[in-house]
Amino acid sequence: MRWQLPHLNLIPFPADDVAAPRAKPAARAKSKAYAVEEKRKVHPNAYEPWSTEDDQHLAEHCSQGASLAELSQEFGRNKGGIASRFIKINAGDPVVEDVWKCVGEDPGATL
């Protein structure tokens, strides 16, 4: 009986009780705060993939006491890229010990 009432127009159909969905606002195009080309003028290897050899060189330079600024210059990457690589290497690479000695942090710490 309940389902017959909407068909007899005695009550609104259950879907009529629900408000129509609102249209989503048009997506605004977000402009990036930077351009990769601009970053590469200062740091030529910015956003380039790291190779296994780069990881090994990074660990070697760290074990020799290089600072983040020196590593940034050496690898052509910004300090954030170097720090991010430290975190990535922490994922189980055998050179982790040397890298964390360079940073001066425990492997569980965040940069």
- The answer to whether residue 19 is domain-embedded is no
DSSP single-letter state for residue 72: H
- The answer to whether residue 62 is domain-embedded is yes
- The string of pLDDT tens digits covering residues 43-57 is 999 999 999 999 888
- The answer to whether residue 72 is domain-embedded is yes
Whether the predicted model's global pTM rises above the 0.75 cut: no
Number of domains in the chain: 1
CATH number of residue 63's parent domain: 1.10.10
- The answer to whether residue 35 is domain-embedded is no
Alpha-carbon distance of 84 to 73, in angstroms, equals 16
Q: List b or e across 42-65, with b for residues whose CB sees 16 or more CB atoms inside 10 angstroms.
A: ebeebeeebeeeebeebbebbeee
Q: Print the domain residue range for 79.
A: 45-103
pLDDT of 16 above 60: no
- The answer to whether residue 110 is domain-embedded is no
